[in-house]
A and B are shown apart, each in its own frame.
Chain A
């Protein structure tokens, strides 16, 4: 039995200040299998793998590689034992070439100089051997995310990894690209590589995994195989209770157009057009979902609509009024709500307490400020108490810093602040990224409630499931253009996936 195991993790405990991220976790990986590690955001999957890879030092626990006990004191050791990891956020230096990224830390040299020629040749050899095509001379920031992921996998293989950890690898891929990745994964296992596949997507597990280990709140709560279970079963194991996989909502009752985007073009910092001549409308009482692989212009589009970014051509009207660009305050005063993509960068001032964060956009208005710019503490406090109660924010008090809250509660602070203003249009960009299922359900319900109250809602999400369950209409973005707008009733994962990859499913 033990000879079968490529990797064995015994009783790992890892504590961070205030939380136990891994509580006595054990896990094993057989040679040549794909072992899925399933759990909600924050369940401790990535922490466990970072411990295995030597990035975090465990407080307790031991590791066996190929049946032998080993000490892993850093990534260097992990690499030596044949462990390779593809992180959720790619570990690539954007301004380096593919070759430079591949050899970093394992450089080939001639005398004192780097031998880039030899390295290039080696990379081409490996790339051919595994059927993963890359251009060794391309600069990483210029290549698409799908190819960047290939570079990451090759990086591990270049270091002769036979245990490969893939952390949420499909988050940046279309369903079809994900299928390709699964084929590559199966191909790798045939060549003797064992794979740990971290995910919170149930369908993918049923599709590709040989075995499944489920984690919840830092603990292993069960093992299963795709043959023994189904999506509902996995979901229940992951969350610990029955979950609704679908959002309950009545059919939309769309009214007048509240937001209209016409011929919008945006260039980025490098003067490349990232949004190209886009036009669409949003009606009161409907949810428009914007789907697409990350990096196809959705972020820039949402930033332009919400006043965070200037544009190069086109116009946007809100209830018939042309909006000025890069004037978020005008938008606040004209009924635009915004749940930003990055809640730590834009949505919150982390060192501020909750009360201040809850008036971040309205601090200057009555009753929060009086004459001579004097702030009204009582009104600010009252507002905070009300929102805490209504939006179920779990925190010791409104006086704690926003940084001390969990992601779900931080997002509820933002949702509470934005949804409690009189709104005509709401832009929610990745509203549930990184949240636990309970918070996701809650925020989805609130978004639908806003729609039913007659707000025109735009939901931008890289999660197809989120788009499919929330949207009434779906626009797909590909390379800066909206390639289609379809009714949610007619949308399927497969169809959307093809649109997201730039092909037209109706032509095939």
Chain B
């Protein structure tokens, strides 16, 4: 019996295709199950699920323009997904990606309209970096609180999300308010053209940056000593201390990098899509990052397809609402169901008879543990 088990193990881990299948089987099944239950909910509320889903698909992939819209929607999602997944690797749950993203969006907008006289490429890069750094700084707060006082990052980051909403509101409705043409809406002025991140053809340049970011994150995590330190702290803080790693510093640095990614997502949304900061325009992008990170199995290369999927749902939601008369909030429900099924993977495994992929499980610290 032992031998058989061993043989099975060696054959399946030998073929990378088998390994890949075991990794993606559960997320795939989770997506399908969620769509199925979504269809049932649609039917209950009196809509035609097939019509709704085909409108959704049409709105996301029906034309090159629609596809470009999907890519644009997916861009900030890749960043927030990467932010959440990166923190997971150090055992941290950054629910605050939302707040960090808001700061990134606001600050890059400010840099975008206040700095004059820079050439386009330089201005856009600078605004992006400043915005991302704002997210990084904001994420350093819960990181330091976790490292030095033990305050759990889940609650502090959620609280800081509310604080971020208030602060960004204040700036967009106060010091940085757009007053041109008698505007009364809380929003900043439009950024200069030199700060914009262009769309080439139907492909937003931001999307290319997002894919690049995923590659960099992957390289950092698995090919550098810093990544080794981050993953060790995540899997066993005690062993990390024994190995001479600076655990507190690593926790803060991980949050800073995570916040940088989230902030970059917000900045690219501002510079590539919205063109200014306006409260409410970025709502939920950070929270979607949680779903995307888990759907992508917290792997940078899993996050890209996961973000594309959620991005497609966002891009197609309006078409669906228009063509099939379905409230677009149904996509939120489907997303939540995907999250449920992909995290409750034991249920899904039973349903599709898949074996455990033996991958690294996410374990987060509770209140008491260090």
User: A residues within 8 Å of B by Cβ?
Assistant: 18-19, 307-308, 327-332, 338, 340, 345-352, 356, 360-361, 363-364, 369, 372-375, 396
Contacts of A328 on B, CB cut-off 8 Å? 241-244
Q: How far is the CB of B216 from chain A (nearest CB, A)?
A: 12
285-343 of chain B: CB within 8 A of chain A? none
- Residues of B contacting A18 with CB < 8 Å? 2, 5
18 pairs of residues in contact across A and B, judged by CB atoms under 8 Å: A308-B242, A328-B242, A329-B244, A329-B245, A331-B244, A338-B242, A340-B242, A345-B239, A347-B242, A349-B235, A356-B228, A363-B228, A363-B243, A374-B223, A374-B225, A375-B223, A375-B228, A396-B6
Among B225, B228, B235, B244, contact of A351 (Cβ-Cβ < 8 Å) = B235
B225-270 residues at the A interface, CB under 8 angstroms:
225-226, 228, 232, 235-236, 238-239, 241-245
Inside 8 A of B238's CB, which chain A residues have their CB?
345-346
Which 9 interchain pairs have the tightest Cβ spacing? Answer: A329-B244, A373-B224, A328-B244, A346-B242, A373-B225, A360-B243, A345-B238, A364-B225, A349-B239
Q: How far is the CA of A348 from the CA of B241 in the complex (A)?
A: 11
Complex contact A372–B242 (CB within 8 A): no
Task: Assess the B244–A332 pair: CB atoms within 8 A.
Answer: yes
**B residues less than 8 Å from A363 (CB atoms):** 225, 228, 243
Q: A434 to B251, alpha carbons, bound, how many Å?
A: 33
Nearest chain B residue, comparing its CB with the CB of A360: B243
Most buried by B among A308, A351, A361: A351
Contact B6 A308 (CB under 8 A): no
Q: For the complex, what is the distance from the CA of A308 to the CA of B244, rounded to whole Å? A: 9
A207 to B236 Cα, complex, angstroms: 43
Q: Does B180 contact A (CB under 8 A)?
A: no
User: How far, in whole Å, are A349 and B237 apart by their CA atoms in the complex?
Assistant: 9
* Bound Cα distance A360, B226 (Å): 13
Tell me, rounded to whole Å, the shortest Cβ–Cβ distance linking A11 to chain B.
Answer: 19
CB pair B5–A372 under 8 Å, yes or no, is no
- Tell whether, in the assembled complex, residue A396 and residue B10 are in contact, meaning their CB atoms are under 8 Å apart: yes
Q: Which residues of chain A are near B239, meaning CB under 8 Å?
A: 345-349, 360
Which residue of A has the minimal Cβ distance to B224? A373
User: With A and B bound together, what is the CA distance between A328 and B245 in angstroms?
Assistant: 8
Interface centre among A331, A369, A375, A396 (most CB of B within 10 A): A375
Interface string of B188-229 (1 = CB under 8 A from A): 000000000000000000000000000000000001111010
Q: Which residues of the other chain, B, contact A329 by a CB distance below 8 angstroms?
A: 244-245
Bound CA–CA A131/B87 (angstroms): 57
Write the chain A residue with the least CB distance to B360: A351
Tell me, rounded to whole Å, the shortest Cβ–Cβ distance linking B156 to chain A. 23
Q: In the bound complex, how far is the Cα of B242 from the Cα of A112, in angstroms? A: 50
With both chains docked as a complex, state the minimum distance between the C-beta of B234 and any C-beta of chain A, in angstroms. 10
Interface centre among B225, B239, B242 (most CB of A within 10 A): B242
Tell me, rounded to whole Å, the shortest Cβ–Cβ distance linking B290 to chain A: 22
For A368, the closest partner residue in chain B by CB is B225
Q: Which of A348, A350, A374 contacts B224 (CB 8 A)?
A: A374
Could you say which residues of chain A place their CB within 8 Å of the CB of B232? 349, 352, 360
A13 to chain B, nearest CB (A): 12
* A268 → B minimal CB distance (Å): 14
B224 close to A375 (CB less than 8 A): yes
Cα distance A455–B286 when bound, in Å?
55
Q: Given contacts A332-B244, A346-B242, list 14 more A-B pairs with CB under 8 A.
A: A307-B244, A328-B244, A329-B244, A330-B244, A340-B242, A345-B236, A348-B239, A350-B235, A352-B235, A364-B225, A369-B225, A373-B225, A375-B224, A396-B10
Minimal beta-carbon separation of B83 from chain A (angstroms): 21
Min CB gap B245→A, angstroms = 8
Q: Judging by beta carbons under 8 Å apart, are B235 and A361 in contact?
A: no
Complex-state Cα separation, A349 to B5, whole angstroms: 24
Q: Kindly state the separation between the CA atoms of A170 and B53 in the bound complex, as whole angstroms.
A: 68
Tell me the nearest residue of chain A to B228, going by C-beta. A363
Q: Which residues of B from 8 to 63 have beta carbons under 8 Å from A?
A: 10
A216 to chain B: closest CB distance in Å?
A: 18
A149 to B223, CA, bound (A): 50
The docked-state distance in angstroms from the alpha carbon of A332 to that of B243 is 9
Among B226, B228, B235, B238, residue most surrounded by chain A Cβ atoms (within 10 Å): B228
Please give, as numbers and ranges, the residues of chain B lying within 8 Å of A373 by CB-CB distance. 224-226
- Collect the chain A residues with CB atoms within 8 Å of residue B2's CB: 18-19
Determine the chain B residues whose CB is within 8 A of the CB of A361 once the complex forms: 242-244
User: With the chains together, A434 CA to B2 CA distance in Å?
Assistant: 23
Q: Which residues of A contact B235 (CB under 8 A)?
A: 349-352
CA A329 to CA B236, docked complex, whole Å:
17
Which of A330, A349, A351, A373 lies at the interface centre, i.e. has the most chain B CB atoms within 10 A of its CB? Answer: A349
A349 to B232, CA, bound (A): 7
User: Would you give the shortest CB distance from B235 to chain A, in whole angstroms?
Assistant: 5
Report the separation of the CA atoms of residues A307 and B238 in the bound assembly, to the nearest whole angstrom.
12
Interchain CB contact under 8 A, B243 and A350: no
Tell me which residues across on chain B come within 8 A of A396, comparing CB atoms. 6, 10
Cα distance A364–B224 in the bound complex, in angstroms: 9
Choose among A19, A328, A348 the residue with the greatest number of B CB atoms under 10 Å from its CB. Answer: A328
Q: Please give me the residue from chain B that is nearest to A348 by CB atom.
A: B239
Chain A residues, Cβ within 8 Å of B228: 356, 363, 375
Chain B proximity of A374: nearest CB distance (Å) = 6
Question: Closest approach, in angstroms, between the C-beta of B5 and any C-beta of chain A?
Answer: 6
Docked pose: A363 CA to B239 CA in angstroms = 13
- Docked complex Cα distance between A332 and B360 (Å): 28
- In Å, the complex CA distance between A356 and B223 comes to 12
**Within the assembled complex, what's the spacing in Å between the Cα atoms of A346 and B236?**
8
**B-side contacts of A19, CB under 8 Å:** 2
- Tell me which residues from 58 to 74 in chain B have a Cβ below 8 Å from any Cβ of chain A: none
Give A340 to B248 CA distance when docked, in angstroms. Answer: 21
Rounded to whole angstroms, the CA-CA distance of A348 and B245 in the bound complex is 14
Across the interface, name the chain B residue whose C-beta is closest to A369.
B225
Q: Complex: how many Å from CA A331 to CA B5?
A: 42
